[in-house]
Amino acid sequence: MGLEEKIEGAQAIVGVIGLGYVGLPLARVFALANFRTRGFDIDPAKVEKLNRGESYLKTVPAERVRQIRKLGTFEATTDFSRLAECDAIIICVPTPLTPTRDPDLSFVVDSVRAVGRNLRKGQLVVLESTTYPGTTDEVAKPILEETGLVCGKDFFLAFSPEREDPGNRDFHTTIIPKVVGGGDEASGRLAQKLYGKVIEKIVPVSSAKVAEAAKILENVYRCINIALVNELKMVFDRMGIDVWEVIAAAGTKPFGFQAFYPGPGLGGHCIPIDPFYLSWKAREYGCHARFIELAGEINTGMPHYVIGKLTEALNSKGKAVQGSRVLVLGIAYKKDIDDLRESPALELLELLGGMGAEVLYNDPYLPSTPRTRRHDLGLKSQELTPKLLRGVDCVLIATDHSAYDWEKICADAPLIVDTRNATKDVATAKGKVWKA
């Protein structure tokens, strides 16, 4: 039976490498569609949890994992030699930046090499990790062809960018349109057919490069517009104008305007990182992506701006940052999720600690601060009580989780620095809230 027939009859075995915020939801939808699905991850703890029917992601509750385990269509493993069992392999691993803000493709390369060691004729390989245009053709394809197998003839290769938005209740994996571009016509057709079995709408494009570029454009668009409102926030603050009120007023225009909102910096895996993949690649062609670099400069500087506003707020009470007790509310990169990837709150905690403040935090979804590539804070979430709020010198709102009762927080906290406009509807907050 050929690969196309296997896909059509849901007989293909699907392997997903990387069981994080992208890979786990994707593996789940294939398992729900009765495809035998193998999830691959280098973390044994994650694999053990999944095989027990447990979860480590708030966005994929345990009952959803138990559902596919009960169906018998999903199994997680750390044994990458089992990639040989799979008819289709989808790579969903991180693509971070190096300390010098260059692309770090080590996770992608390691995954592709693992696939190459187990590659056989008739397999389809799809890269979903966001990267610069050309990665599929220039990085993945040569590694796989080191086996002596030929792309488009012996195996098939495509790119389909992930579009997950953790915590978004309106859009989930199966209903978000899927862009698919093949390294060749046959590869594109097979990848479209595979995703078409689990995703409602497939958007075919002419090549893997176009698919890679489309994802970069989506993230660059958001990065630049967020940088714009972050810059306007600083300008309007000097003018005594509330940027949040300005955005609300501009948002009443029914055409030609889309609201973006300022914050303490950029978080998540996509927007703070992916645009720099394009600006790096552009230099190979003699181009300087000035908008991307400027947006990055503004956005990465926002934590320092917030610290400046917090310093002003404490000074207004005759206090210095050094020696003050500062409680940070919310350390996830956005509300109502447990995702810490590139969260600016981690940098805020680090900056405050470096200035001599006693730093505390509360986050209902993150009981402790795990070690990341750039941060190792070793903090635990404090119970949010009136006693805690009254016992600190300042509360810094970094993430506006819906679980927070802003009325009570504003009533008990002596001083608040609000980066999210969370306290806007609290009448009693006047006089004690600084916007940042």
Active-site residues, by number, are 270
Pairing of strands 178-182, 156-159: antiparallel
Q: Which residues of 328-347 are buried (b: 16+ CB within 10 A; e: fewer)?
A: bbbbbbbbbbbbbbbbbbbb
At 14, list the tokens. Answer: 């699907």
Backbone CA torsion sign across 147, 151, 155, 156: positive
Q: How far apart are CA 363 and CA 397, in angstroms?
A: 11
Q: How far apart are CA 305 and CA 303, in angstroms?
A: 5
Backbone CA torsion sign across 247, 252, 253, 257: positive
Q: How far apart are CA 172 and CA 26, in angstroms?
A: 10
Q: How far apart are CA 380 and CA 368, in angstroms?
A: 4
Q: How far apart are CA 172 and CA 170, in angstroms?
A: 7
At 34, list the tokens. Answer: 């009765």
Residue with tokens 């300390």: 99
CB burial class (10 A; 0-12, 13-18, 19+) of residue 427?
exposed
Q: Which residues pair with 16 in a beta bridge?
A: 39, 90
At 253, list the tokens. Answer: 């225009």
Name the DSSP class of 271.
T
